[in-house]
Amino acid sequence: MTTPPVMQTSRFLLFRRLIILVFAGLLIFYHSLTLYEMYVGTGNSAHTLFDYVQSVLRMFITMSLLLVVFGVRWALWGMWFSISGLVATQYWAHFGNLPVDFTEGRHPLSYLKGFIFPTIITLAFHSSSRLGDSNADV
């Protein structure tokens, strides 16, 4: 028979894993769609070094997030490094006066919004893994 505190803990664990799945899924979808539009979709076929660097980072973001969804702890480091690299390239475009459209009219701090979802994923991952470890002892 399951006691109420264990049921509450398992619901909380399920909620945390659902948060990881939803936010990681949104990021995977967004970055995959961006890669698809760049290489397969109709658009400018002349890509710059900036485009290639960002596409490699987006690929690493997608792969590391897939591993995070499956519970691989070290993939969080890959997610953070690749997303930090993507934000760094956005600052490169902003302050390097690269010919890209997304920098027009943006405040330099607006690129830091890219860290919101990874922070939520990391917090949910750590609390769900701690709860999962403590439930194994019960």
Cβ atoms within 10 Å of 84's Cβ, excluding its own = 14
Residues 32-77 have pLDDT tens digits of: 999 999 888 776 677 888 989 999 999 999 999 999 999 999 999 9
Is the pLDDT reported for residue 136 higher than 80? no
Output the average pLDDT for the chain.
86
Domain boundaries, the chain: 28-133
Residue 138 pLDDT: 34
The Cα–Cα gap between 15 and 21 comes to 10
Q: Which amino acid is at 128?
A: S
Note the pTM of the prediction, 2 decimals.
0.82
13-28 confidence digits (pLDDT tens): 899 999 999 999 999 9
pLDDT tens-place string over residues 94-106: 998 888 888 888 8
Q: Are 76 and 68 spatial neighbours (Cβ–Cβ below 8 Å)?
A: yes
Distance, in Å, from the CA atom of 28 to the CA atom of 66, rounded to the nearest integer, reads 8
- Alpha-carbon distance of 118 to 27, in angstroms, equals 9
pLDDT score at 86 = 95
- SS3 for 52-75, per residue? HHHHHHHHHHHHHHHHHHCCCCCH
